[in-house]
């Protein structure tokens, strides 16, 4: 599972510095007045202000209880009120206040479309799910869309595109070629190795005999078939990724990141 730490997905630092508190979480007088004008009592004022500053920093709404205590204390110091977790109805209304104030939209369908288009374009040259997520994040921020809480679509689109390339190559192989390639995977019961495994042998110490063996192995690989023609239309970067997966087939999956919704 791809860790959120490996992506550019915004999150609270484990230890929020004094500098970050001052630069990112200090409400301005105008913001405090704005918050006061949209809450009916002091109990919800701090929650609204914390959400405002958190959204400005993260690009999405965290749960109030997930905000570091130092951030809450810093925002509280600017208002001198106690934090009150808003009721569900109030919380939804407060999130809409923040979105309107910051000029961002919460349109799940549009956000998904923006992210999906970005991932489909990036997956032609990138393969790491973290890289695909980062590209989608950049596009969502550029489009002023609220960030989604998870990116399961990255893995789904990645698999879809990869399967498309696999079908493209497989469609170019005649039955005899497919049978020949399938035989490469048959494991010898004595040596416990397959021909495919042997093809991945690295070059050994330089000597005339080893050099001749290497040339013979390369000739066998070339005799497999016109691989250049089979891979025509597959980006070089994707072909390199597929080769890497053949050496160590452990594809990662996409990350989930808990947060609020709606």
pLDDT digits (tens, 9 = 90+) for 120-133: 888 888 878 788 88
Boundaries of every domain in the chain: 4-102, 106-184+224-262
Structure tokens at 223: 């005799």
- Residue 145 region by backbone torsions, left for phi larger than 0, else alpha for psi between -120 and 50, else beta: beta
pTM, to two decimals: 0.52
Q: Give long-range contacts, CB 8 A cutoff, 24+ apart: 60-67.
A: 60/10, 60/146, 60/147, 60/148, 60/149, 60/259, 60/260, 61/95, 61/98, 61/146, 61/259, 61/260, 62/12, 62/259, 62/260, 63/258, 63/259, 63/260, 66/12, 66/258, 67/12
CA 257 to chain centre: 10
pLDDT digits (tens, 9 = 90+) for 131-152: 888 888 888 888 888 887 656 6
Residue 258 has pLDDT above 60, yes or no: no
Residue 2 has pLDDT above 60, yes or no: no
CA gap 66, 203 in Å, rounded: 53
pLDDT digits (tens, 9 = 90+) for 89-119: 677 888 889 988 888 877 778 888 888 899 8
User: Residue 113: CB partners within 8 Å, gap ≥ 6?
Assistant: none
Given a contact cutoff of 8 angstroms between Cβ atoms, the answer to whether 94 and 48 are in contact is yes
What is the pLDDT, as a whole number, of residue 223? 82
CA gap 163, 156 in Å, rounded: 11
Q: Residue 130's closest CA among 158, 165, 110?
A: 158
């Amino acid at each position: 599972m791809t860790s959120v730490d490996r992506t550019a997905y915004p999150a609270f630092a484990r230890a929020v510095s004094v500098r970050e508190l001052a630069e990112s979480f200090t409400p301005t007088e105008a913001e405090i007045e704005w918050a006061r004008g949209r809450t009916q009592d002091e109990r919800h004022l701090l929650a609204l202000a914390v959400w405002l500053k958190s959204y400005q920093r993260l690009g999405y709404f965290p749960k109030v209880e997930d905000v570091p205590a130092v951030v809450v204390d810093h925002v509280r110091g600017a208002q001198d009120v106690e934090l009150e977790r808003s009721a569900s109805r109030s919380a939804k209304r407060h999130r809409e206040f923040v979105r309107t104030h910051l000029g961002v939209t919460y349109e799940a369908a549009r956000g998904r479309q923006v992210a999906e288009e970005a991932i489909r374009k990036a997956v032609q040259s990138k393969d790491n799910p973290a890289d695909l997520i980062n590209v989608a994040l950049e596009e969502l921020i550029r489009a002023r869309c609220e960030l989604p809480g998870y990116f399961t679509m990255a893995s789904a689109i990645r698999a879809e595109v990869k399967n498309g390339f696999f079908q493209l190559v497989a469609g170019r192989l005649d039955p005899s070629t497919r049978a020949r390639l399938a035989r490469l995977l048959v494991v010898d019961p004595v040596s416990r190795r397959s021909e495919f495994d042997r093809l991945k042998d690295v070059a050994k110490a330089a000597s005339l005999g080893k050099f001749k063996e290497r040339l013979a192995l390369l000739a066998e690989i070339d005799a497999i078939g016109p691989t250049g023609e089979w891979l025509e239309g597959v980006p070089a970067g994707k072909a390199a990724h597929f080769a890497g997966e053949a050496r160590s087939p452990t594809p990662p999956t996409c990350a989930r990141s808990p947060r609020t919704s709606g």
